[in-house]
Amino acid sequence: MKTLQIVLLTLFVSLSAFAQKQDKEKIKALKIAHITEQLDLTETEAQKFWPIYNANEDAKHELREASINRRKEKDIETLTESEAKSLLLEMEKTEKQKMALESKLLNQLFVILPSKKIIKLYQAERSFKQKMFEEYKKRHSKEKRD
């Protein structure tokens, strides 16, 4: 009986992780479609744009993950003043790295896209986040009613 419970638990955790990965992939595909539609990239622009954009997204994701993991490791209540200061300095370093990534992306995009399309990119990213937030609110309000 114990073995069956362990197998079922393992299966459930595996399925849950698989579903989360599918959700992330689905959201990524929706974001790509949204940005593609909003920017109206030429074929040449798209061939140059997507590798740069995806590399930037991957780098930002790595920074976010490292930051989240670092904060999860710390219990604020038990931090010494020295540890708290160190954590703040690490957070500042992460913010500087994010800004450096944005600057690098912008400089790379200047070479391949007109400035208006770069502005459209920022607008498309904001509107996509807004759509995702609205969808999240809609789904969670529906769950509360059920």
Q: According to the model, what pLDDT value does residue 7 have?
A: 46
- CA–CA separation, 101 and 95 (whole Å): 10
Where is average pLDDT lowest: 86-90, 101-105, 120-124? 86-90
Secondary structure letter of residue 40 according to DSSP? T
- CA–CA separation, 66 and 20 (whole Å): 19
Phi/psi at 41 (nearest 5 deg)?
-70, 145
Provide the residue ranges of all domains of the chain, joining segments of one domain with +: 52-112, 114-146
- CA–CA separation, 73 and 58 (whole Å): 23
| Mean of all residue pLDDT scores within the chain | 85
**DSSP three-state, residue 24:** helix
User: What pTM did the predictor assign?
Assistant: 0.75
- Per the model's pLDDT, the better-predicted residue between 136 and 130 turns out to be 130
**DSSP three-state, residue 79:** coil
Is residue 103 very low, low, confident or very high in pLDDT (cuts 50, 70, 90)? very high
Most confident of 14-18, 55-59, 71-75, 87-91: 55-59
- 116, with CB counted inside 10 A (0-12, 13-18, 19+), is exposed
